[in-house]
Amino acid sequence: MSSHVFDQAIALELQPDGTFAGHTSADYANMVGPFGGISAAQMMNAVLLHPQRLGEPVSLTINFAAALAHGTFIIDARPARTNRSTQHWVIDVRQNGETVLTGTAFTALRRDTWSVDEEPMPQCPPPNQVPIGRGPAPVEWVKQYDMRPLAGAMPTVWDGSGDNSLTQLWVRDNPPRPLDFASLTALSDVFFPRVFVRRATLVPVGTVTMTVYFHADSAQLQASGSSHLLAQARAQAFRNGYFDHTAQLWNEAGVLLATTHQVVYYKN
């Protein structure tokens, strides 16, 4: 097994009944429970490791039903329907017999077709010209990422002065690690809550659902190596306890690797 902290965190053990056993990682701890991105990566990894998998990930939805307790969990990833070149997955993560995460995924054998990126990578200086920023909070998981904010960094003054929620940053695993579907899944949740930057106000928050669309195949991920990704997110609406965000991740060459969306609970 790779000694990279990320590989240790997403390691799973196939059980005799076809489920996978995993363990929360202290290295990816968040305020309450683990970093959502590492839970999503563990879920994705159960599909990737599954002996019946057909093709590569195209989409993943994960719902955060309850905070995971520190310790072991069971991932039950089941192919609900397998077609000639596509497969639909239903995923359930349990602790002590109770569901803590639910999810669905779609994998497919992809073929070369006419292709074009419509959402261009924003113009910005290269990562080596952007200083590493302070993490969004004094929690463990942010130490596992090299984050270089370009716009909409974590506020330093909490005076309610925010007027938009756009964040752009360069980001990669720390230490560097070659990009793959599992790490891209985790990176899709790297954004601190949009409500912090929009309001410059700290309020209790928690992601309730996240969806990732993978535009890249494994060859394109491999070609991205371990270099930084440009990650961009902004909210579309904050309304009565829940806001959404819509986000994109490009590699340094400007290829759109993934688009991702989530809904986050907020108080007040």
- Report the interface residues with a copy of itself, using CB under 8 A: 58-59, 61, 63, 65-66, 80-81, 83, 86, 88, 90, 92, 98-100, 102-104, 106, 108, 110-119, 164-165, 198-199, 208-209, 211, 213, 215-217, 234-242, 244, 246, 248, 256, 259, 261, 263, 265-268
Shortest reach from residue 64's CB to a copy of itself, in Å: 8
Nearest to 100 by CA among 31, 48, 45, 24: 24
Q: Which is nearer to a copy of itself, 101 or 142 (CB)?
A: 101
Angle at 103 between CA 142 and CA 168, to 5 degrees: 35
Shortest reach from residue 220's CB to a copy of itself, in Å: 8
Tokens of 250: 């490009």
Q: Which is nearer to a copy of itself, 81 or 143 (CB)?
A: 81
Q: Which is nearer to a copy of itself, 59 or 227 (CB)?
A: 59
Q: What is the CA radius of gyration of the chain?
A: 18
Side chain identity, residue 76: D
Tokens of 155: 């506020």
Q: Which is nearer to a copy of itself, 142 or 212 (CB)?
A: 212
If DSSP codes are grouped into helix, strand and coil, which group holds residue 129?
Answer: helix
Shortest reach from residue 161's CB to a copy of itself, in Å: 14
Q: Which is nearer to a copy of itself, 8 or 102 (CB)?
A: 102
Shortest reach from residue 188's CB to a copy of itself, in Å: 13
In degrees to the nearest 10, what's the CA dihedral of 96, 75, 36, 244?
-110
Q: Which is nearer to a copy of itself, 125 or 254 (CB)?
A: 254
Tokens of 174: 């720390």
Q: Which is nearer to a copy of itself, 5 or 208 (CB)?
A: 208
The alpha carbon of residue 53 and the mean position of all alpha carbons in its chain are separated, in whole angstroms, by: 21
Tokens of 229: 């990704």
Question: Can you tell me the distance from the alpha carbon of 104 to that of 268, in angstroms, rounded to the nearest whole number?
Answer: 31
Side chain identity, residue 190: V
Shortest reach from residue 246's CB to a copy of itself, in Å: 6
Question: Can you tell me the distance from the alpha carbon of 209 to that of 262, in angstroms, rounded to the nearest whole number?
Answer: 6
Shortest reach from residue 33's CB to a copy of itself, in Å: 14
Shortest reach from residue 253's CB to a copy of itself, in Å: 14
Cis omega (within 30 of 0) for bond into 34 = no
